[in-house]
Amino acid sequence: MPVLSTETGVRATAPGPRPTLELRGVSKRYGHVNALTDVDFTVSAGEIVALVGDNGAGKSTLVKAMAGTHRIDGGQILVDGVPVEVATPSDATALGIETVYQDLALCDNLDVTANLFLGRERRRRATPLLDAEGMEARAATIIAELAATLPDLEKPVSALSGGQRQAIAVSRAALWGSRVVLLDEPTAALGVAQTAMVYDLVRRLRDRGLGVVVISHNMADVFAVADRITVLRLGRNAGEFTPMDSTPDRVVAAITGADLPRPEARA
């Protein structure tokens, strides 16, 4: 909100809350190819930001930079306004950034609880034994909080539907991500009912106070859940939109670089 400076009498913009995750002037090269050039991106707590762009626009590279799987070549990454180094997935995890990739990275032969705690199993105090009861109780709580209707937690993931599998992956991210969750094409190959279930999951992540980044090609998804839309084109920022003040046609025009036809003048 603008405030009046008592010294100059000039109206200035008061600083708002710092973004939870911010990328400033980020660049990434693969040999002679510039995948990202001076890209800016932000997501705040309790906000859903859709990241969109055509194939080769740099979306995946930007997500991998946030997830720590690709080290940036230039620019800064900041968490809560503090510059950080995100050079490995472990760095991202330690900063509270979790990623749900399109393949979900679930183990079909393991049950729901085992997938939620995979690689982070809890053990009984002062023993090498797993705390199965404690993990199952925590799994049931996080799934209930996200309103994800799932069958028996002891069922193998291979027996679940696509929407239920997505719910497990999102619940795992919510369980371990304390700041930001990155979702790569979360409704790909899902039916209408399962897509609606994922929409609800994404909104509940936001309601828990997390920053949520949704990577999608689907304009219906984007306009259904996003608070803000960031467009990349050819590795550069190409536009920033809010669904309430824009249209899918305008976003698609930014994605493709096309000019929207001007409305004809009225007689």
Q: Which of 109, 115, 108 is nearest to 176 (CA)?
A: 115
Q: Which of 11, 40, 8 is nearest to 27 (CA)?
A: 40
| pLDDT higher than threshold 80 for residue 8 | no
Q: Quick one: pLDDT at residue 73? A: 96
Which residue ranges make up each domain of the chain? 14-109+179-256
Q: Per-residue pLDDT tens for 124-168?
A: 877 778 888 888 888 888 888 776 566 678 888 888 878 888 888
DSSP label at residue 173: H
Contact 46/210 with Cβ under 8 angstroms? Answer: yes
pLDDT, greater one: 239 or 188: 239
What average pLDDT does the chain have? Answer: 85
Assign a CATH topology to domain 14-109+179-256.
Rossmann fold (3.40.50)
How far apart CA 262 and CA 267 sit, in angstroms, is 15
pTM of the model: 0.82
> Could you give the maximum distance between any two Cα atoms of the chain, in Å?
83
| pLDDT higher than threshold 60 for residue 12 | no
The full DSSP string for 118-161 is: TT---B-TTSSSB-HHHHHHHHHHHHHHTT---S-TTSBGGGS-
Q: Quick one: pLDDT at residue 148? A: 58
| pLDDT higher than threshold 60 for residue 11 | no
Contact 206/48 with Cβ under 8 angstroms? Answer: yes
Q: Quick one: pLDDT at residue 262? A: 57
Q: Per-residue pLDDT tens for 60-102?
A: 999 999 999 999 999 999 999 999 999 999 999 999 999 888 8
Say whether 200 sits in a helix, a strand or coil.
Answer: helix
The percentage of residues in the chain with a pLDDT greater than 90, rounded to a whole number, is: 48
Q: Per-residue pLDDT tens for 201-226?
A: 889 889 989 999 999 888 988 999 99
Looking at mean pLDDT, say which of 29-43, 104-118, 137-151, 172-186 comes out highest: 29-43
| pLDDT higher than threshold 80 for residue 186 | yes
